[in-house]
């Protein structure tokens, strides 16, 4: 059965203000894997110089109940092994 997940692109904290959600997508899927793939595509696009919105520090997946299921940050990106 399909479930609704929310992918959130989160900006940087600035001047003592908490980080804001730059972009939010709602995705319906039967498993988490296609949602994870879409979240990572959003993260990669948000790091490109052509990205028109505010800079993004992290992307996360939240289920319909508001539970965070996955988070990827620029710090994870820097420490990930290269292929």
* Segment 8-49, tens digit of pLDDT: 999 888 778 888 898 999 999 999 999 999 999 999 888 888
Give the predicted TM-score (pTM) of the model: 0.83
Confidence of residue 82 (pLDDT cuts 50, 70, 90): low
Other residues' Cβ atoms within 10 Å of the Cβ of residue 43: 21
Q: Please return the burial class of 5, using the count of CB atoms within 10 Å of its CB with bins 0-12, 13-18 and 19+.
A: buried
**Domain ranges (residues) in the chain:** 3-25+43-79
**β-strand partners of 70:** 61
Confidence (pLDDT) at 8: 95
Cα 47 to its chain centre, rounded Å, is 11
CA atoms within 13 A on the CB side of 28: 2
| Inter-residue contact 9 to 23 (CB < 8 Å) | yes
């Amino acid at each position: 059965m399909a479930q609704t997940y929310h992918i959130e692109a989160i900006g940087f904290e600035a001047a003592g203000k908490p980080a804001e959600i730059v972009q939010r997508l709602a995705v319906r899927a039967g498993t988490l894997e296609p949602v994870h793939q879409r979240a990572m595509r959003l993260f990669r696009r948000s790091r490109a110089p052509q990205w028109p919105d505010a800079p993004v520090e992290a992307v996360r997946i939240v289920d319909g109940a508001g539970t965070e299921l996955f988070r990827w940050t620029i710090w994870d990106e820097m420490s990930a092994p290269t292929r």
